[in-house]
Chain A
Amino acid sequence: MSYAKRRYLKPSVFWSIRQGFPSWLTPILISISLLVPFVIWCVLSYGGFINPKFLPTPTTTLITGIDMLQNEELMADIIASSLRVVAGFTFAALVGIPVGLAMGTFYSMDGLLGGFFRTVRYAPIAAFVPLIIIWTGLGETPKIIIIFLGIVFYNATMISDAVKFISDETLNVAYTLGATRRDLLLRVILPATLPNILDTLKLNVAGAWNFLIISELIAAQKGLGFKIIYSQRFLQTDKVLFCILVILAIGLATDLFFKLLFWLCLPWAESKTS
């Protein structure tokens, strides 16, 4: 057996790991990653490889979509779903952020709240649906509760972890400048974790849309999830696909909104998630 006495790292552009990456290549790669699935969809549908009943063409989907907007009040579904997501997401933020901050800051709260929040995170929310219906009926409340429960535990645990990443020295220097524990929480820990809080919310808004579909399984009269389930019964795959595309578009828009918010509110920070 022989082995190389001296080994050097071979230069590479495509496989570069934190050694600089040409800025022009990134948009090209992003376009490829989006175009390839679309091209596959086009080839399979236009090429007639798959029965259009199962996979409609992009044109059919688009035409159906426009028809839904004009004749089936799809806009009302979009608004109904968005309102549910916004409500569930807002409550999950209002509870998750303070609980997460408390858990990350105080050992006592970490034990007291963390025991519950970290454990329940593993419970499948769908399994609670029957109970939630029994407890709160069939209106809007159970739908919002499902979205809320789906993400609130993640909000809390992710934010509490972010607090734990603040260095001891950052907190110690505040103490030596005369900070009380209240000052520490409100004037050091909160601003220090604000970027992580925004990142967490941005990640979990996607979760909210996931749980929306589960929530609209419950006696919904309106909503994108309802529309998808309803269309499935009549094998209207084009309608299902268009609704999914609408959710994707809303997701992209929220993502942009959070990026803008980050850029406007936190000019001193760099986002760690994409």
Chain B
Amino acid sequence: MQTQTFPTTFDQVAIQDGGAKLEIRNVTKIFRRGRQSNMAVDDVSLKLSPNEFSCIVGPSGCGKSTLLNIAAGLVKATSGEILVDGDVVPGPGADRGMVFQNYTLFPWLSVAKNIAFGLSLKGMPKHEQQERVAHYLDIVGLSDYAKAYPKELSGGMKQRVAIARALANDPEVLLMDEPFGALDSQTKEQLQEFFHDLWEKTQITVFMITHDVEEAIFLSQRVHVMDKQGKLRETVEIGLPARRDLEMKLTPEFLDYKRHIVHSLR
């Protein structure tokens, strides 16, 4: 695996060195079905520094979803381990919040109660929960929908609530599995911009997978390219300005990154 850095003159958000927030160490996953075995993830190692935003791009079926599920503790790796703040984690927990591609709001809870779900599991006092919920409802711009049920929301609104629910729980790392994949292209771009602003404000560590190369470049500081064999092929440092807007997707620098990654995927 090689690391590619483009020369850049832009002012960037520096990735902090030192202790990794999330570390994936020599993770391999082999699915066995009868006599056939399929290597989904092949000895992948990577680190996320605090406040880092990294993406994995790869063709569909390349095992990137499996890798994220292993990082979340939802799928057991055949070998290798996951570390949060230097400690090996044995299973899923609130330290690794997750946003899924499909809408995973609990339909029996109102928007506010969905956001409060993790908080009430922790036993946080009610008034503190309400404050946090109000804060995150405000951040995702859905304060008017606090009492609505998920079935009354559009797809984009549901994903905003899912993001708010994950963030309100104050995770060490936010894992995202194609969170904007099910949305139409306009809503998708709106949410990308929204999420970029949100990351700037909260400076949370984000590990996201997507098959959308543009989305990966637009949002992240590092893009890891995964190939069909489940190996990390290369890591591209994205030297775009810290502050990003959708217009940037049309600049020559952006397109250079895109061309490079698209070629790398072939």
CB <8 Å contact, A191 and B108: yes
Chain A residue at minimum C-beta to C-beta distance from B97: A176
Interface residues of A in 254-272 (CB under 8 A from B): 266-269
CB <8 Å contact, B98 and A268: no
CB <8 Å contact, A176 and B96: yes
CB <8 Å contact, B121 and A194: no
Chain A residue at minimum C-beta to C-beta distance from B168: A177
B145 contacts chain A at the CB level, 8 A cutoff: no
Given the complex of chains A and B, what is the CA–CA distance between A191 and B73 in angstroms?
A: 25
Closest beta carbon of chain B to A99's beta carbon, Å: 22
The answer to whether residues A178 and B122 also contact, given A170-B106, A191-B108 and a CB cut-off of 8 A, is: yes
Given the complex of chains A and B, what is the CA–CA distance between A179 and B92 in angstroms?
A: 9
The answer to whether residues A173 and B121 also contact, given A192-B106, A266-B108, A267-B149 and a CB cut-off of 8 A, is: no
Residues of chain A lying within 8 A (CB to CB) of residue B121: 177-180, 183, 187
CB <8 Å contact, A177 and B107: no
CB <8 Å contact, A177 and B94: yes
Residues of chain B lying within 8 A (CB to CB) of residue A268: 107-109, 149-151
The answer to whether residues A175 and B149 also contact, given A183-B121, A269-B107 and a CB cut-off of 8 A, is: no
Residues of chain A lying within 8 A (CB to CB) of residue B118: 177-178
Interface residues of A in 167-226 (CB under 8 A from B): 167, 169-170, 172-180, 183, 187-188, 191-192, 194
The answer to whether residues A176 and B108 also contact, given A167-B102, A183-B121 and a CB cut-off of 8 A, is: no
CB <8 Å contact, B72 and A172: yes
Chain B residue at minimum C-beta to C-beta distance from A194: B108
Residues of chain A lying within 8 A (CB to CB) of residue B171: 176
Closest beta carbon of chain B to A272's beta carbon, Å: 13
B195 contacts chain A at the CB level, 8 A cutoff: no
Given the complex of chains A and B, what is the CA–CA distance between A267 and B104 in angstroms?
A: 18
Partner of B98, one of A167, A176, A180, A187: A176
Q: How many residues of B contact A (CB 8 A)?
A: 31
The answer to whether residues A173 and B108 also contact, given A178-B93, A178-B122, A268-B149 and a CB cut-off of 8 A, is: no
CB <8 Å contact, A177 and B100: no
Q: How many residues of A contact B (CB 8 A)?
A: 22
Interface residues of B in 100-133 (CB under 8 A from A): 100, 102, 104, 106-109, 117-118, 121-122
Chain A residue at minimum C-beta to C-beta distance from B150: A268
Given the complex of chains A and B, what is the CA–CA distance between A167 and B103 in angstroms?
A: 11
Residues of chain A lying within 8 A (CB to CB) of residue B109: 191, 268
Given the complex of chains A and B, what is the CA–CA distance between A105 and B63 in angstroms?
A: 27
CB <8 Å contact, B104 and A170: yes
Given the complex of chains A and B, what is the CA–CA distance between A213 and B186 in angstroms?
A: 62
Residues of chain A lying within 8 A (CB to CB) of residue B66: none
Closest beta carbon of chain B to A179's beta carbon, Å: 6
CB <8 Å contact, B169 and A177: yes
The answer to whether residues A176 and B102 also contact, given A183-B121, A268-B151 and a CB cut-off of 8 A, is: no
B21 contacts chain A at the CB level, 8 A cutoff: no
Given the complex of chains A and B, what is the CA–CA distance between A172 and B117 in angstroms?
A: 14
Given the complex of chains A and B, what is the CA–CA distance between A183 and B94 in angstroms?
A: 13
CB <8 Å contact, B97 and A177: yes
Interface residues of B in 159-183 (CB under 8 A from A): 162, 165-166, 169, 171, 175
Residues of chain B lying within 8 A (CB to CB) of residue A192: 106-108
Given the complex of chains A and B, what is the CA–CA distance between A179 and B165 in angstroms?
A: 14
B15 contacts chain A at the CB level, 8 A cutoff: no
Interface residues of A in 135-185 (CB under 8 A from B): 167, 169-170, 172-180, 183
Most chain A beta-carbon neighbours within 10 Å: one of B73, B107, B151, B169: B107
Closest beta carbon of chain B to A70's beta carbon, Å: 48
Given the complex of chains A and B, what is the CA–CA distance between A266 and B149 in angstroms?
A: 11
Chain B residue at minimum C-beta to C-beta distance from A175: B92
| A/B interface sample: 13 pairs, CB < 8 A | A169-B100, A169-B102, A172-B72, A173-B98, A174-B117, A175-B74, A176-B72, A176-B74, A176-B93, A177-B97, A177-B117, A178-B118, A191-B106
Extra A-B contacts (10), CB below 8 Å, given A167-B104, A176-B171, A177-B94 = A172-B74, A172-B92, A172-B98, A173-B104, A176-B98, A178-B121, A178-B169, A180-B121, A268-B109, A269-B108
The 8 closest A-B pairs by CB, nearest first: A178-B94, A177-B118, A175-B92, A176-B98, A173-B104, A268-B149, A191-B108, A169-B100
Residue ranges of B at the interface with A (Cβ–Cβ < 8 Å) = 69, 72-74, 91-94, 96-98, 100, 102, 104, 106-109, 117-118, 121-122, 149-151, 162, 165-166, 169, 171, 175
Residue ranges of A at the interface with B (Cβ–Cβ < 8 Å) = 167, 169-170, 172-180, 183, 187-188, 191-192, 194, 266-269
